[in-house]
Chains A and B, each alone.
Chain A
Amino acid sequence: MISNEIEFHAPTTLREALALLASEGEDVTVLSGGMSLLPMMNLGIIRPEKVLSLNRVSELARVTERNGELVIGAMVRHQAVATDPLVQRHCPVLAAAAHVVGDVQVRNRGTIGGSVAHADPAADYLPALAAMGASVTLSSSEGERTLDAGAFFVDLMLTSREPTEIVSSVTVPKLPDGWRSAYKRLARVEGSFAIVNAAAVVAGDRSSATVALGGVGPKPVVVDISEQVRGGIDDAALAAVGEAAYEAAHGATGDLLSDASYRREMASVFARRALREAAAEGGGAR
């Protein structure tokens, strides 16, 4: 059993949750799906004294459409992100990323807000969100603020979230008609965290293209590859994109899974694979 005493709170509304954070934010650990938090608690790596579960806050578990965007509530579980008709239609690369998070049991419980707030640099969502130009909304009892993914993710497992705030939703612009996207990951076995992952988003007329890389630094690395694909996505373009990805991955570091140079090489390979899949006939619709 977890060794330290826990004061457990499970409010049913966001307002109640934010009120608790406003008064005791510094001492409170926010729990969503728990797929990263519970293992750390079981191992004694972290010992929260007060736990605030969002699992009863149903208002955070919805996907809604707003103008040209999808607003995905923080408590939408990975399986729901993967199968939600709005996400599949308007943001297929995010559905594709959700589809390969962990395993069946993890996808049934883990949430997009939890993954984003945890900010593991190898998380599947991060490159997909970065490539799509997504933003993250933080709520507190004072109000809310919305940050671009680039500003929200600060460093290794460090975000702009203040202790009195909750990640309440992720907003993703809809992929315009004719645009393509794809997500690719390198992992030792299914269910493992990715060593390197990449999401590619390409305009139908190739006037704009982006590849975002994960696992090559403390936060997602976004590479504008519009120049490289302008003349078409042929072998020369793919090689140029691979080079750009290799350069962009200069901050990669080594760990037990792979060393830094292998990560840079794989960033190049997976950027090309993601782009090739996005460009392929039918690419983008998963």
Chain B
Amino acid sequence: MRTTIQVRVNGEDRRVEIDTRMIVAEMLRERLRLTGVHIGCATGHRGACTVFLDRKAVKSCCVLAADVDGAEITTVEALSSGPDDLHPIQEAFVENQGLQCGFCTPGMLLSAKALLESNPNPTEDEIRHGIAGNLCRCTGYHFIVKSIQDAARRLNGNGSP
């Protein structure tokens, strides 16, 4: 069943023609070409598809596109306009090698952002809880946690160690 929805994506109002079978992740990737939204499992485990839906981090593979009519969505693309304009969280991930294959990274960045917005000085334990919904099969998480600790310092204006 075809239908049209209105969504505000990364600050822009969009009318999007969708199929009612589409999940939000597919709408973002296929209709709006926001391919930073990665679909890992489509079962809500991996979190690579994490986006902000009405300012809250959710897994966009587990929400029907038809169900977000009128909503506001933020994807990883909103963090930066290009390589010369990285968000402090992205800079921290680059500096600390907080990724290997990079597939989980968009979700990690957004979960880190959600965490640091509500808790600017998280402990290591709080960071691990904050990214519990994001699976990385490469790094063992150590450098991701380190990246988020560094991102917290950058965002709090304390620079790099």
A residues whose Cβ falls under 8 Å from a Cβ of B: 1-8, 10, 31, 34-35, 38-39, 42-43, 51, 53, 55, 79, 102-106, 108-109, 189-191
B64 touches A53 (CB 8 A): yes
B62 touches A39 (CB 8 A): yes
B42 touches A42 (CB 8 A): yes
Q: Which residues of B contact A3 (CB under 8 A)?
A: 21
A–B complex contacts, Cβ < 8 Å, 9 sampled: A1-B21, A1-B22, A43-B43, A51-B64, A53-B64, A55-B67, A108-B56, A109-B59, A190-B129
A43 touches B62 (CB 8 A): no
Interface residue from A4, A8, A38 paired with B44 (Cβ < 8 Å)? A38
A10 touches B69 (CB 8 A): yes
Q: Judge whether B75 is part of the interface by a CB distance below 8 angstroms.
A: no
Interface residue from A39, A43, A191 paired with B133 (Cβ < 8 Å)? A191
The number of chain B residues touching the other chain, given as a range, is 20 to 34
Q: Which residues of A contact B64 (CB under 8 A)?
A: 6, 8, 31, 34, 38, 51, 53
B42 touches A105 (CB 8 A): no
> Known contacts A106-B59, A191-B132: does B1 contact A6 (CB below 8 Å)?
yes
Interface majority SS on B: helix, strand, loop or mixed?
mixed
Q: Which residue of B lies closest to A4 (CB)?
A: B21
Q: Judge whether B95 is part of the interface by a CB distance below 8 angstroms.
A: no
Q: Which residues of A contact B69 (CB under 8 A)?
A: 10
Q: Judge whether B23 is part of the interface by a CB distance below 8 angstroms.
A: yes
A280 and B133 CA atoms in complex are apart in Å by: 31
A31 and B20 CA atoms in complex are apart in Å by: 13
A264 and B43 CA atoms in complex are apart in Å by: 29
Interface residue from A42, A43, A109, A190 paired with B58 (Cβ < 8 Å)? A109
For B69-109 the 0/1 string (1 means CB < 8 A from A) is: 10000000000000000000000000000000000000000
B21 touches A6 (CB 8 A): yes
